[in-house]
A and B are shown apart, each in its own frame.
Chain A
Amino acid sequence: MLINIQKMFKTYRMGENAVHALDGVSLTIGNGDFVAVMGASGSGKSTLLNILGCLDTPTSGTYLLDGVEVSRMSRAQLAHIRNQKLGFVFQNFNLLSRTSALENVELPTFYNRGFPGRERRARAVRMLERVGLGNRADHTPAQLSGGQQQRVAIARALMNSPPVILADEPTGNLDTRSSVEIMTLFKQLNQEGITIVMVTHEEDIAACARRRILMRDGQIVA
């Protein structure tokens, strides 16, 4: 199992009341899976994704990622895990402005101590070619369309060859045609063996995944 979550709780204090954003979630995701997480806003899907992404730690429960228990790690250790095991794709792309597509893609390797510096550029070019933007390496985000920007973000997520890509509403800011392109790309990457966990509230986007998870009130209901 690539991802194994057992009896996970995440509780926030809101004044007197305790809010259970995650209320005893258990979930396993196998290698090469493509999971869509769905649910209304406030259902806990973002919290789940943040914890899956090692950006947040649970109140209780265990999280084995690629065989490593990460739920009690320090911030620096989690940063290392994110760098090595996870690729992020955001709704709003989160590219560095006034920075070329190539340099945006290179970024994760700067925090990867094991990555040989002289292979950085060549690999970034290959990743851009893989998402079909080999001829846009010098463009800054402002010179690219939304769909192109998201593809740059995907190239960036692939840079350190992580086993898992986490996508938070990857098509939320895109028109239909670009959305289809991105999902085609995701399916292709999934076929190449990359595990994808994607949060979305659009039915037709979720339909691209192999497996669907529906969340409500901090629990997985389907």
Chain B
Amino acid sequence: MNFFMILKVALRAIFRNKTRSLLTALGIIVGIAAVIAVVAIGQGAQAMMIKEISSIGNNIIMVFPGSRTQGGVHGGSGSSQTLTAEDGENIAQDLAHLVRAVTPVVRTGSQVIYQENNWSTQIQGVSVDYPEVRNWTAEDGVFFTEADQRAGARVCVLGATVVDNLFTSASPVGQTIRIRNMPFRVLGVMARKGSNTMGHDQDDVILVPFTTVKRVLQNSIFNNVNMLMISLHSLDDITAAKEEIGALLRQRHKLAPQAPDDFNSIDMTEITNTIGSMTKLMTLLLTVVASISLLVGGIGIMNIMLVSVTERTREIGLRMAIGATPSDILLQFIAEAMALSIVGGLLGVLLGTGGARLVGRLQQWPILITESSVMVAFLFSAAVGMFFGFYPALRASRLNPIDCLRYE
């Protein structure tokens, strides 16, 4: 018998006893549906958290200046003035195998004015690499250029909240706003990013070249910065990157081996680890639930297949008499068990995705149905059919045709 014939015979046997087949497959249906639904809801929640984290900037290490000790007096955190934009450039160049991009951040606050409107906001001095570091681009207009940065040009890029509060209708691109009474040309508007995990509005910001902040707004002769934001190629490198960045900074700052760091670095590892362990726990629980439900479903299939083999003893005998080999019979009954469990698995996938969507709509939960979870569910149900169908099929294939033909 070829593949299609086996499949046809198996499907026909299933549809001959619709009620019984449905009840048999119910274990698989419910098990698969539960797994699909819970995975969809869980992955939706996880995807939302990851999105929030990546809105801060994915794979980011933040380096702050540390405390300075002078003549036995500890300054507060951030009092050290040794962290500079050159440190950042050096990190970007020397650690290019780990680091994707680096931007210094210099913060100041100010009231800004456009015509008769005014708004108090944070001014952030950053480098041209800022969009790459934060994974955040200008939606309208453009970001400032390297020439602007070198020249300390009076140009700025606005966050969406600033635009909402300063401009009523026309596009701000090309307009001039006043920061501390100095005119700044608006080059662009950043895409709306929303609040971060702490509820802080990330769009309430004006981005300016850090050189401009230092020279023009702060009128400073120092080149220290408030923070270096460093984005990595991969989240996996975070520990190695932190070590190498630390070593490089110590070397650049000429710290003696026993001297404490004059900087602090913070990363997203902790949050990521928390999410990772939550995911692991959920996966483990799901695996347990899925295994139990599939085990129960599989036993149901095995039971009904044993009944089916007994019921169809004469049919088995006849098929053997007219030329079915033991392996033909084995395949036929395994195919039947697999067809049962696969049809059950498909119904379970439909029920599970439908249920998850319904819950998502009613509870306003994010739902994520991935192809892989559907594929895994499908393959698992097929495997259950094969595993639990094997014993009944083996029994059928070992029957003696003479006894089968005489069976009443």
Contact = CB atoms under 8 A, between A and B. Distances in A.
B324 A111 contact: yes
Nearest to A93: B318
B315 interface: yes
B402 A50 contact: yes
B318 A82 contact: no
A98 B323 contact: no
Contacts of B323: 79-80, 82-84, 108, 111-112, 160
Chain A residues touching B, range: 20 to 34
A19 interface: no
Interface stretch (B37-45, B153-161, B292-300, B325-333): B325-333
B5 A90 contact: no
A83 B324 CA distance: 8
A55 interface: yes
A56 B402 contact: yes
B326 A76 contact: yes
B325 A110 contact: no
B315 A96 contact: yes
B405 interface: yes
Interface string A82-111: 111000101000101010000000011011
Contact of B326 (A75, A88, A112): A75
A39 interface: no
Interface string A24-52: 00000000000000000000000000100
A156 interface: yes
Contacts, number: 56
Contacts of A80: 323, 325
Interface residues of B, number: 21
A160 B324 CA distance: 13
A75 B315 contact: no
Contacts of B326: 75-76, 79
A27 to B, nearest CB: 20
A134 B321 CA distance: 25
A169 B297 CA distance: 45
A88 B319 CA distance: 11
B401 interface: yes
A218 interface: no
A53 interface: yes
B402 A79 contact: no
B1 interface: yes
A25 to B, nearest CB: 18
B320 interface: yes
B154 to A, nearest CB: 82
A214 to B, nearest CB: 23
B314 interface: yes
A98 B324 CA distance: 20
A111 B325 contact: yes
B20 to A, nearest CB: 14
Interface in B281-338: 314-315, 317-328
For B314, B324, B328, the residue with the greatest tally of chain A CB atoms inside 10 Å of its CB is: B324
Contacts of A160: 323
Contacts of B328: 79, 111
Contacts of A84: 323
Interface string B363-375: 0000000000000
A75 B405 contact: no
B388 to A, nearest CB: 25
Contacts of B254: none
Contacts of A117: 2
Contacts of A110: 1, 5
B320 A79 contact: yes
B200 interface: no
Among A55, A90, A107, max chain B CB count under 10 A is at: A55
Contact of A55 (B1, B2, B327, B402): B402
Contacts of A107: 319, 322
Nearest to B318: A94
A222 to B, nearest CB: 26
B9 to A, nearest CB: 8
B16 A82 contact: no
A27 B320 CA distance: 26
Which of A53, A94, A156 has the most B CB atoms < 10 Å from its CB?
A: A94
Interface in A105-139: 107-108, 110-112, 117
B325 A76 contact: yes
Nearest to A99: B12
B327 A76 contact: yes
Contacts of B318: 94, 96
Given A79-B324, A88-B322, 16 more contacts: A53-B321, A55-B402, A75-B325, A75-B326, A80-B323, A82-B320, A82-B321, A90-B405, A94-B314, A94-B318, A96-B318, A110-B1, A110-B5, A111-B1, A111-B323, A112-B323
23 contacts: A50-B402, A53-B321, A55-B320, A55-B402, A56-B402, A75-B325, A76-B325, A76-B326, A79-B323, A79-B326, A80-B325, A82-B323, A83-B322, A94-B317, A94-B321, A96-B315, A108-B322, A108-B323, A111-B322, A111-B323, A111-B325, A112-B323, A160-B323
Interface of A: 50, 53, 55-56, 75-76, 79-80, 82-84, 88, 90, 94, 96, 98, 107-108, 110-112, 117, 156, 160
6 closest residue pairs by CB, A with B: A83-B323, A111-B323, A79-B325, A76-B325, A108-B322, A94-B318
